[in-house]
Structure 1
Amino acid sequence: MRLLERSIVRKNHIKKWLAGGTAALAALVLTGCTEAELAAYMPGHKGISDVGDAIGNFWANSWVALMGVGLLTWGLVIWASVAYRRRKNETGMPQQMRYHMPIEIMFTVIPVVLVAGFFAFTAREQAKIEENWADDEREVHIEVYGKQWAWDFNYLEVEGSPHDHAAVYYQGVQAEEVRDADGKTTGEINMDKLPTLYLPVDAKVTIDLKSRDVAHSFWVPQFHYKEDTIPGKTNQMSFTPTEEGTYIGKCAELCGEYHSMMLFQVKVVSAGEYKEYLDSLAAQGNTGAVGDEFNRNLHNPGTKVPEIQHEEH
């Protein structure tokens, strides 16, 4: 009886030591992680926008879940390799097993749960981004047109907003390569001539995404989200930029010969600097908006089935 009690106590101590050691190891690993590792190597860092933070957390947590599945799978593979290895003096084929119901159920249920979970969380985060601010909440409203191979920005009026301003626009050109004295390209881009989208920090922004020709994609990697621009259709995204800075954007949809040159910048600035920029556009005569009338194809069918018109006799 005493031997049994001693064995139980010893096992409890072992469990405590294992639990403590595991906790200490986890704490050491986590404290040793850099900011890039904690963000699962996503571009940028936390605090750039509310969208980026939500998507970044989802991405990092997904990797944690997948790492757990990977460790379980690797553990089972290694255990099976050791436990069922061929021993000395063994000959012939080992005993065959047609199926193992608990393992079959596990290998079916776990992938289904993972796929369903990833789908649900993805749909939730995407719905948040694509849900527009209410009219009395939205503070900045911008139309973005993708075109081969640059971008146009319309800064629209938002009544009652602290950033309200008469509508102004900016028309961009594709990225220009820097050339040396002999006229040869240096492999660098002239950043000063890139189309630049200005946003006021901590403002509730809605962006309408449109295309003047073919399908493009509006992508700012450090915001951790991209949205397509489709001919004849308007996509929208809403977010709040929360840190001032300059961020590089690009087209993420193959759109033709100079797709790689379809770059732009996003500058998140103070409210005062944002107003100064809009005033500068107005001073240049860029008042109003450059809308669908500048699209290359004005006969997009839209999303409805075309109606056949019959001539009356």
Structure 2
Amino acid sequence: MVQSLWNGAWIAALATGVVVIVLILWAAIFHRKRRAKAELPPQVRYNLPIEMLYTLIPLVMVSVFFFFTARDSEALTKVDGNATVKVKVEAFQWSWRFTTTYNGKTLPPVAGTPVSDFHQGPQLVLPAKSKIEFDLSTDDVIHSFWVPEFLFKRDVLPGIAEDNPGRKFEITTLDRTGVFAGRCAELCGVDHSRMLFSVKLVPQQEFDQYVATQQAGSAQ
């Protein structure tokens, strides 16, 4: 959905740019002053049809952009609350703490420190091709939770109540496994650039084994 919205916006912008450039070139070539004493070409000031045209066309374009953006934004921010995997994301200067709940069972939190390579930061393990609910919170300044491969970013705002729906979002993870970079996308202080983490997507069976291992470790 995000990719389709982005592609549509770029296609419309490029088409508009081509039309504008063609009109500029046409006016510059065919309406240039050819002789030193040549009269100015006919002027179109106060031409009501033309003024209505270049007012209505942008209005229609903006309305179309608004419609698709509002429609997709509502779908993207909808939270059903029925995800089997829920992750509490706590952002702090300058790292992350992830607490995963799977089928009602909470795993030990994973926290990190500022690092120079996302592989060294805290790693969030999730099953591939699964619905995940994220709950974002922070106690200091504004951060932003961003995994570029997920095509989704959400600001983490301080002072937001736990029951506020604006703290949560849902995504369906990629249908491929691997380790993907994550970072803070909001300037939040001196070590902002080192506020890195990773998300490891694994098959469901491997995720179940990971959960069992984490629960066994916490029970000891």
Q: 1:249 to 1:115 in 2, by over 3 A?
A: same
Larger gyration radius, structure 1 or structure 2: 1
Within 2, Cα distance between the matches of 1:89 and 1:153? 73
2:151 is the alignment partner of 1:224? yes
* Paired letter, 1:91: A
Contact 1:215–1:229 (8 Å) recurs in 2: yes
Shift of 1:58: 1.2
Contact 2:145–2:183 (8 Å) recurs in 1: yes
State which of 64, 87, 97 in structure 2 corresponds to 1:142: 87
2:216 is the alignment partner of 1:283? yes
Contact 1:196–1:265 (8 Å) recurs in 2: yes
Contact 1:169–1:286 (8 Å) recurs in 2: no
Within 2, Cα distance between the matches of 1:151 and 1:139? 22
Q: In terms of mean alpha carbon deviation, does 119-128 or 249-258 score higher? A: 119-128
Q: CA RMSD, aligned part only?
A: 2.2
Q: 1:200 to 1:94 in 2, by over 3 A?
A: same
Q: In terms of mean alpha carbon deviation, does 65-74 or 166-175 score higher? A: 166-175
* Paired letter, 1:64: I
Within 2, Cα distance between the matches of 1:151 and 1:231? 14
| Structure 2 counterpart SS, 1:153 | strand
Segments of structure 1 that go 5 or more residues without pairing to the other structure are 1-53, 160-165, 178-188, 288-313
- Quote the residue 2:103 is aligned against: 158
| Structure 1 counterpart SS, 2:109 | strand
* Paired letter, 1:271: Q
Within 2, Cα distance between the matches of 1:190 and 1:88? 65
Q: 1:286 to 1:79 in 2, by over 3 A?
A: farther
Q: How many residues are matched?
A: 214
Within 2, Cα distance between the matches of 1:280 and 1:231? 33
Alignment of 1:228-267 (within 5 A): 228-233=155-160, 235-241=167-173, 242-267=175-200
2:61 is the alignment partner of 1:114? yes
Q: 1:208 to 1:125 in 2, by over 3 A?
A: same
* Residues 259-311 of structure 1: CA deviation (Å, up to 9, x unaligned): 11111111111112212222333233289xxxxxxxxxxxxxxxxxxxxxxxx
Segments of structure 2 that go 5 or more residues without pairing to the other structure are none
* Paired letter, 2:201: V
| Structure 2 counterpart SS, 1:117 | helix
Alignment of 1:296-311 (within 5 A): none
Shift of 1:71: 1.1
TM-score relative to the length of structure 1:
0.63
* Residues 232-251 of structure 1: CA deviation (Å, up to 9, x unaligned): 22511111112222111110
Shift of 1:118: 2.0
Alignment of 1:1-313 (within 5 A): 54-88=1-35, 90-135=37-82, 138-158=83-103, 166-177=105-116, 189=117, 191=119, 193-233=120-160, 235-241=167-173, 242-285=175-218
* Structure whose residues are more often strand by fraction: 2
- Give the share of equivalent positions with the same residue, in percent: 34
TM-score relative to the length of structure 2:
0.87
Contact 1:175–1:262 (8 Å) recurs in 2: yes
